[in-house]
Amino acid sequence: MTLLKTKLFSSIFGHRGAHKATWIEFSQDVIINSQLVPKGKYGFFTIPDKKEWTIILNKDWDMHLADNYNSENDVIRLKVNPNKNKDITEALTYKVKSLNNKKGQVSICWEYLTVSFQFENF
């Protein structure tokens, strides 16, 4: 199992191999986009587009890629705008950054793009 050991407020990203879905885990409740997300593990999915990405947290985290994805199990869907970076990120990178003692930001970087969303401990 590959585990990106990026921890902030006990948030963890994981990817368990070449054919498993990426997941995120919160050890306590968080607020994302004014919506309560209970502590737990969630499938982490994206729908990229040139002007706007959709980021999805889904109750089903243990699946083969997105084969068993069911939108009825979505906990939250966020619309975020991609930002263009001046430097290249050669490998897909997930980051969790502290903004203060209660707030953080999750970012996905790859090539010349970054998409991000903020969260707050509840």
pLDDT of residue 69: 84
Distance between CA 106 and CA 12 in Å, rounded? 10
What digits encode the pLDDT tens for the residues 25-41?
888 899 999 999 999 99
Query: Which two structure tokens, joined as six digits, stand for 108?
Result: 């996905």
**Pick from 68, 105, 107: nearest CA to 89:** 107
pLDDT of residue 9: 38
Supply the range of the domain harboring residue 70.
Answer: 2-121
pLDDT of residue 116: 96
Residue 7 confidence (pLDDT) above 80: no
Query: Which two structure tokens, joined as six digits, stand for 45?
Result: 């999915």
CB atoms inside a 10 Å sphere around CB 115:
20
Query: Which two structure tokens, joined as six digits, stand for 47?
Result: 């729908």
- Total domain count, the chain: 1
For residues 83 and 50, which has the higher predicted lDDT (pLDDT)?
Answer: 83
pLDDT of residue 4: 37
Residues sharing a CB contact under 8 Å with residue 63, sequence separation 6 or more, in sequence order? 20, 21, 43, 69
pTM, two decimal places: 0.81
Residue 18 confidence (pLDDT) above 70: no
Distance between CA 75 and CA 111 in Å, rounded? 28
pLDDT of residue 14: 52
Distance between CA 25 and CA 69 in Å, rounded? 18
Residue 10 confidence (pLDDT) above 60: no
